[in-house]
Structures are given as structure tokens and as C-alpha cells.
């Protein structure tokens, strides 16, 4: 774990597995603490490791009594105070490891006046706190969870008495440590409000290229680091069909549960702008801004710029709306700042107030190209310019050999409680995602948790050229053919009721089959299909 990931993903962990912390890890943490800076290099920190047992229990009990007394003095009612104290006892007695951080007052300079005496004392308090933060980071980097407890500041006399500390060791805090039994997602307030520039132009952090805010377990999202919540659900998505599925899931899941991994094979450079159609379609749809009929682009968008571009002889076959252009211009600006696509997407998503994570399948350039009798066509040339007319001989993903999944993609697939494959085009939109290193292997291993919603209804694709391509491949455009194509990764399949006659044949592939109306014409439809998919893989969310 590198320093940036340690800093940005450390959380206060309060629930631990019932498992001892190996002694060698304890020394690793203490050594890290010992290398903190300290005022005048006095190294005033002292550590007391309190094992589980009678002394720890007596300490917890005596401190709880002090807490109750304090709370009653504040006017708390007896029951609430005792409940709070009982929780405190539980925390202190069940933590596998309890480290007391103390300050040795021998290290504090003596002054005649109160002002400098207080400053000399606080210098050592700060030094012990710095050692504590090193210890917390080291615990996290070692795969442990830890939490600083400030209670000893309110009951230092009790801690000294029960643990029989040397008289100059003044308790500063407890740190509980153990193997994490919880995952924590925590917010940070806006940093900008806490920063004042004096004679210094403080640029908004959004636009400065602070590359270190990435970390391999996810990307920095508006000051909120996502550790993957236990309710997490991952959707593999292409464009329009996938976006509807994403909206259906987003509507019924807890806000931070959904991660959408999106195809980027359709991406291309157009009049100097980087276009990511599937990412934008998913993003606009989750933000409720998408054009309801077309599916792509923004509702209410105008095409003034496109018209002007046409007058200059620029291509207008790929219709870029005026509001849509803002997305491409910002994507271009941030790319020129060195931001990877995953970070740009995260920024755009956060700016549109979307709480789901939207991850491009890769940050590397992968381009889907279509081999046709008219030659090998770039994707949008085939899809939009030639309106999907040329027969498809083969689909290739240029750049795939050196592409890696984007940060967070593999973690999300490993950690997800369920993985939904959207009713997108398998050949054009889903195969690119599955072709990335290790993606298909994770889905094969986790097959039981994987469900696909049929992209074919009644022998034709809901949107796009799927049925046509299946025929060009000599396949019957039937859901059964799709289920068979992905039989190695599907544990369940959501079949449209118009194709119910194929249920047994699909079940015979070893999948659970749920039959429902899979057409998603409105929000209720989308929620129904989303529930059917979650039911098919037994995903119960809280
Ligand atoms: N699809 C079209 O058929 N015609 C267009 O002019 C068009 C413009 C467009 C602009 C931005 C964008 O994000 C998507 C756009 N699409 C258009 C859709 C896009 O080509 C497809 O949705 C995906 O590439 C296929 O999944």
C-alpha cells in the first residue's frame, strides 16, 4: 500500500474480528510511531500495551463509572448514561489490542511564566499525537483497523492508578487495534472552506492536478473515499440499454451501493474532442438528464454549435449537442491536465450529483473496430455514420493487448454482493469489458453471483443491431443463444415473458431463470427489471 492510498483509505474502525494481533505487527506499528517528528526531538511518547484480562476489565469498568458520573452531572438520564457506559466497556474489553499513548512529562521544559509553560507542554502533546497518527496509518497499511479514543484525557487519574503507570507518564489516548470487522465510508467537509491563502492564490482543488488523490481501491470522489460497502452491486454496461438498467438499480438500491463498469470501446476522438458515448449515456441517465427517446445526449439540448461547425465544413454526422459539448470540452481539458479517464469520469459524475460510482472499464485506449466487406471500420463510423448497415464479419478491440482494468474495477467485481450484466450488445459493448485481463476469470469464479438481463426480446434487439449481427454470425437471434454465449459466467438469466418458451433450455445451461416483462419504457419498468435481476441472484439489500 503506498502512502497516498494509506492516507486516503484509512478509517476509524471500531468493530474487530475475534482474532489476536500478531506481536510482530505490534512492533511494526510502534516503530512507525517512534519515527514521528517531535519537538526538540524529545520523543516524549510512551506506549502501554494492555492485553485482554482482569486489568483491562477493571480499567474499562472504572472509566465507565467516571463517564456515568460526568453524564449525570450534565443532566443525562440514568439509563442513557448507563447504556453509553456499557458500550464504552464493550469497546475497551473486546478490542484485541489496547495501546495507551502517554506523554512523559520529564520531557517538558520548565518556565516561570504560564504562557510559555503551556506552550512547552502542548509541544509534547502534539508530538505524542503525531506518533499516534503514524501508528494509525501503520495499522491500516498492515491490514489492521484502529481507532483513537480520547477518553483518557477525561480520566487520566484512573488510567494511571489501574495500570500503575510511572508517575511522569501522563495518558493522552487509547488506540484500539484489531482485524477489521466493518467497512466504513466517511465524508469529509469541503477542504476549500478550511483553507485561507495569504499572498497566495489558492486554486480550487478540483482543477489542480493532484494525481495522488487516486488510490488503487477506487478514485477520490468529492472528498469521499469509497471503501466498497458490503451492499455493493456492480453493473456491466454499454450505452442506452445499460443506462436504463443502471437507472433501475440506482432507484432501488442504497445510494452508494451501485458501481457501473462501462464499455469504452465506442470512445473516439472527434474534431479534437474525446467522446465517451457509453460513459456519458450512463452518466446523463443516472443524473436524469438524458434524452428520453434517443437515449443518448441530453434532454432539451440544442445543436447551434453543430450547425456552425457544419458551416466550417466540420463533420456533422455525429450529432453533438451544445450542452453535450461541455462534457467533451471538460474531458479534453482534464485529460490535458494529465487526469486519467476514471478520474475525469468521477469528477463529472460528482459534479452532476450522482452517488453511484461510474468506472470506465479501462483508462487505456481501447477501440472497438468492425470488420465488414467494406473494410475495417472505426466503431462510430459503422454504428452512426453507416447506420449499422455493413454486415459484420468480426469485432476487434484494438489496444486490448496492453490495456488494464481501470482502478477499482477488479476490486469492485471481487467485493460485489452481486454482478448484473445489462441488456447491452454482447459483441459490441460487453465483450470489450470481459476481454480485459482478469475480468472474465473473476466472473467465472463468481458465476453464482452473476445475472444477465436478456438483450433480445421476441427475436429482436431492443435497441441497436444485435439481432442483425447474430444473423450475420449465423446465430438465431434468441435469448437462448445469448445465454449459451455467456454460459461460463452466468448463474442467472432474466428472460422476457415473450420468450418464456426458452426458459427450460436456458435453465438446462445451469442458470436460474426469472421470467418477466423486460421492456424498460419508464421508471416503474426499470425498477421491476432491476428487482427481477436482484431476485435472480438472491441479493437482498437492507
Ligand atoms: N448515436 C447516433 O445514432 N447518432 C448520433 O448522432 C449520436 C451522437 C452521439 C453524441 C454523443 C453521445 O454520447 C452519443 C451519441 N450517439 C449517437 C450514440 C452513440 O453512438 C451510441 O450510443 C454508442 O456509441 C453505442 O453504445
Q: Is 496 in the pocket of ligand 1 (CB under 6 A)?
A: no
Give 540 or 445, the one with higher predicted confidence: 445
Q: Is 320 in the pocket of ligand 1 (CB under 6 A)?
A: yes
Given a cut of 90, whether residue 320 has pLDDT beyond it is: yes
Q: What is the per-residue pLDDT for 226?
A: 42
Closest Cα to atom 3, ligand 1: which residue? 384
Give 384 or 222, the one with higher predicted confidence: 384
Q: Is 277 in the pocket of ligand 1 (CB under 6 A)?
A: yes
Q: Is 266 in the pocket of ligand 1 (CB under 6 A)?
A: yes
With H, G, I as helix, E, B as strand and everything else as coil, classify residue 405.
strand
Closest Cα to atom 21, ligand 1: which residue? 277
Closest Cα to atom 13, ligand 1: which residue? 277
Give me the mean pLDDT over the 80-99 stretch: 96
Q: What is the pLDDT of residues 429-468, one digit of tens each?
A: 999 999 999 999 999 999 999 999 999 999 888 778 999 9
Q: What is the per-residue pLDDT for 205?
A: 57
With H, G, I as helix, E, B as strand and everything else as coil, classify residue 243.
helix
Ligand 1 geometric centre to CA of 279 (Å): 11
Given a cut of 80, whether residue 277 has pLDDT beyond it is: yes
Closest ligand 1 atom to Cα of 379: 24
Closest Cα to atom 1, ligand 1: which residue? 384
Closest Cα to atom 25, ligand 1: which residue? 239
Q: What is the per-residue pLDDT for 319?
A: 97
The residue to mutate among 269, 275, 277, having the most atoms of ligand 1 within 8 angstroms of its beta carbon, is 277
> Would strands 273-275 and 456-457 be described as parallel, antiparallel, or unpaired?
unpaired
Given a cut of 60, whether residue 417 has pLDDT beyond it is: yes
Q: Is 278 in the pocket of ligand 1 (CB under 6 A)?
A: yes
- Report DSSP state, residue 382: I
Give me the mean pLDDT over the 126-153 stretch: 97
Q: Is 273 in the pocket of ligand 1 (CB under 6 A)?
A: no
Give 178 or 205, the one with higher predicted confidence: 178
Closest ligand 1 atom to Cα of 383: 20
CA distance 37 to 107: 14
How many H-runs (helices) and E-runs (strands) does the chain carry? 19, 20
Share of the chain above pLDDT 90, in %: 84
Complete DSSP assignment for 389-400 = -SPPSEEEEETG
H/E stretch holding 469 reads helix 466-472
Closest ligand 1 atom to Cα of 276: 13
Name which of 89-103, 208-222, 406-420, 517-531 the model is least confident about. 208-222
Q: What is the pLDDT of residues 233-259, one digit of tens each?
A: 999 999 999 999 999 999 999 878 899
Ligand 1 geometric centre to CA of 481 (Å): 27
Name which of 63-72, 211-220, 229-238 the model is least confident about. 211-220
Closest ligand 1 atom to Cα of 319: 6
CA angle 51–57–58, rounded 5-degree value? 115
Ligand 1 geometric centre to CA of 297 (Å): 7
Ligand 1 geometric centre to CA of 390 (Å): 17
Ligand 1 geometric centre to CA of 483 (Å): 27
Given a cut of 70, whether residue 227 has pLDDT beyond it is: no
Ligand 1 geometric centre to CA of 320 (Å): 9
Give me the mean pLDDT over the 263-269 stretch: 98
Model confidence band, residue 201 (pLDDT cutoffs 50, 70, 90)? low
Name which of 75-84, 194-203, 286-295, 528-537 the model is least confident about. 194-203
State residue 334 phi and psi, 5-degree precision: -70, -35
Q: Of 490, 520, 519, which is closest to residue 506 (Cα–Cα)?
A: 490
Q: What is the per-residue pLDDT for 110?
A: 96
Closest ligand 1 atom to Cα of 239: 26
Closest Cα to atom 16, ligand 1: which residue? 296
CA distance 492 to 450: 6
Model confidence band, residue 221 (pLDDT cutoffs 50, 70, 90)? very low
Q: Is 301 in the pocket of ligand 1 (CB under 6 A)?
A: no
Give 299 or 229, the one with higher predicted confidence: 299
Rounded mean pLDDT of the chain? 92
Name which of 52-56, 114-118, 407-411, 477-481 the model is least confident about. 407-411
Alpha helix positions (H), 236-276? 240-252
Given a cut of 90, whether residue 215 has pLDDT beyond it is: no
Closest Cα to atom 14, ligand 1: which residue? 277
Q: Of 504, 495, 498, 494, which is closest to residue 535 (Cα–Cα)?
A: 494
Q: What is the pLDDT of residues 174-196, one digit of tens each?
A: 999 999 988 776 767 877 788 88
Q: What is the per-residue pLDDT for 369?
A: 98
Closest ligand 1 atom to Cα of 318: 6
Ligand 1 geometric centre to CA of 310 (Å): 18
Ligand 1 geometric centre to CA of 364 (Å): 21
Q: What is the per-residue pLDDT for 461?
A: 80
Name which of 16-25, 102-111, 125-134 the model is least confident about. 16-25
Q: What is the per-residue pLDDT for 218?
A: 39
The residue to mutate among 318, 370, 469, having the most atoms of ligand 1 within 8 angstroms of its beta carbon, is 318
Closest ligand 1 atom to Cα of 281: 13
Give 388 or 256, the one with higher predicted confidence: 388
Given a cut of 60, whether residue 423 has pLDDT beyond it is: yes
Give me the mean pLDDT over the 97-108 stretch: 97
Q: What is the pLDDT of residues 478-494, one digit of tens each?
A: 999 999 999 999 999 99
CA distance 332 to 339: 10
Q: What is the pLDDT of residues 107-130, one digit of tens each?
A: 999 999 999 999 999 999 999 999
Model confidence band, residue 506 (pLDDT cutoffs 50, 70, 90)? very high
Ligand 1 geometric centre to CA of 321 (Å): 11
Q: How many residues does the chain have?
A: 542
Q: Is 281 in the pocket of ligand 1 (CB under 6 A)?
A: yes
Q: Is 280 in the pocket of ligand 1 (CB under 6 A)?
A: yes
Ligand 1 geometric centre to CA of 496 (Å): 26
Closest ligand 1 atom to Cα of 266: 24
Three-state SS string over 25-70 comes to HHHHHHHHHHCCCCHHHCCCEEEEEECCCHHHHHHHHHHHHHHHHH
Q: What is the per-residue pLDDT for 208?
A: 54
Q: What is the per-residue pLDDT for 183?
A: 74
The answer to whether 258 and 249 are in contact (CB under 8 A) is yes
Q: What is the per-residue pLDDT for 217?
A: 38
Amino acid at each position: 500500500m503506498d502512502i497516498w492510498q494509506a492516507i486516503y483509505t484509512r478509517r476509524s474502525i471500531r468493530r474487530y474480528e475475534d482474532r489476536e494481533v500478531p506481536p510482530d505487527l505490534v512492533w511494526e506499528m510502534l516503530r512507525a510511531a517512534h519515527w514521528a517528528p517531535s519537538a526538540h526531538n524529545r520523543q516524549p511518547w510512551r506506549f502501554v500495551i494492555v492485553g485482554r484480562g482482569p486489568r483491562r476489565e477493571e480499567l474499562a469498568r472504572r472509566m465507565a463509572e467516571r463517564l456515568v458520573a460526568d453524564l449525570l452531572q450534565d443532566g443525562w438520564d440514568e439509563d442513557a448514561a448507563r447504556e453509553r457506559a456499557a458500550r464504552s466497556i464493550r469497546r475497551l474489553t473486546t478490542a484485541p489490542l489496547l495501546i495507551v499513548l502517554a506523554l512523559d512529562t520529564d520531557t517538558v521544559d520548565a518556565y516561570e511564566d504560564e504562557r510559555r509553560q503551556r506552550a512547552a507542554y502542548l509541544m509534547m502533546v502534539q508530538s505524542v499525537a503525531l506518533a499516534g497518527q503514524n501508528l494509525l496509518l501503520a495499522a491500516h497499511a498492515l491490514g489492521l483497523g484502529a481507532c483513537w479514543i480520547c477518553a483518557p484525557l477525561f480520566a487520566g487519574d484512573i488510567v494511571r492508578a489501574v495500570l500503575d503507570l510511572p508517575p511522569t507518564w501522563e495518558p493522552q489516548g487509547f488506540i484500539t487495534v484489531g482485524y477489521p470487522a466493518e467497512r466504513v465510508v466517511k465524508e469529509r467537509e469541503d477542504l476549500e472552506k478550511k483553507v485561507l491563502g495569504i499572498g497566495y492564490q489558492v486554486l480550487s482543488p478540483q482543477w489542480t492536478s493532484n494525481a495522488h488523490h487516486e488510490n488503487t481501491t477506487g478514485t477520490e470522489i468529492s472528498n469521499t473515499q469509497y471503501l466498497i460497502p458490503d451492499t455493493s452491486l456492480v453493473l456491466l454496461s454499454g450505452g442506452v440499454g445499460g443506462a436504463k438498467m443502471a437507472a433501475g438499480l440506482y432507484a432501488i438500491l442504497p445510494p452508494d451501493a451501485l458501481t457501473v463498469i462501462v464499455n469504452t470501446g465506442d470512445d473516439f476522438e472527434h474534431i479534437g474532442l474525446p467522446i465517451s458515448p457509453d460513459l456519458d449515456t450512463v452518466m446523463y441517465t443516472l443524473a436524469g438528464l438524458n434524452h428520453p427517446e434517443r437515449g443518448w445526449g441530453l434532454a432539451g439540448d440544442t445543436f447551434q454549435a453543430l450547425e456552425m461547425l457544419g458551416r466550417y465544413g466540420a463533420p456533422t454526422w455525429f450529432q453533438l449537442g451544445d450542452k453535450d459539448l461541455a462534457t467533451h470540452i471538460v474531458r479534453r481539458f482534464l485529460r490535458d491536465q494529465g487526469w486519467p479517464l476514471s478520474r475525469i469520469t468521477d469528477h463529472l459524475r460528482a459534479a452532476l450529483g450522482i452517488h453511484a460510482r461510474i468506472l470506465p472499464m479501462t483508462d487505456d485506449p481501447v477501440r472497438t473496430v468492425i470488420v465488414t466487406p467494406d473494410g475495417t471500420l472505426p466503431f462510430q463510423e459503422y454504428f452512426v455514420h453507416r447506420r449499422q448497415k455493413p454486415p459484420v464479419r468480426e469485432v476487434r478491440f484494438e489496444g486490448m493487448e496492453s490495456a488494464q482494468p481501470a482502478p477499482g474495477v477488479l476490486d469492485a467485481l471481487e467485493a460485489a454482493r452481486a454482478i448484473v450484466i445489462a441488456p447491452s450488445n454482447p459483441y459490441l459493448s460487453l465483450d470489450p469489458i470481459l476481454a480485459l485481463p482478469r475480468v472474465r476469470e473473476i466472473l467465472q469464479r463468481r458465476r453464482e453471483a452473476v445475472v444477465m438481463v436478456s438483450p433480445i426480446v421476441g427475436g429482436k434487439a431492443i435497441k441497436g443491431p444485435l439481432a442483425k449481427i447474430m444473423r450475420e454470425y449465423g446465430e438465431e437471434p434468441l435469448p437462448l443463444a445469448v445465454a449459451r454465449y455467456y454460459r461460463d459466467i452466468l448463474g442467472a438469466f432474466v428472460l422476457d415473458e415473450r420468450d418464456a418458451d426458452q426458459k427450460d433450455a436456458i435453465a438446462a445451461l445451469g442458470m436460474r431463470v426469472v421470467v418477466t416483462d423486460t421492456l424498460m419504457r419508464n421508471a416503474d419498468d426499470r425498477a421491476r427489471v432491476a428487482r427481477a435481476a436482484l431476485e435472480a441472484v438472491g441479493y437482498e439489500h437492507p
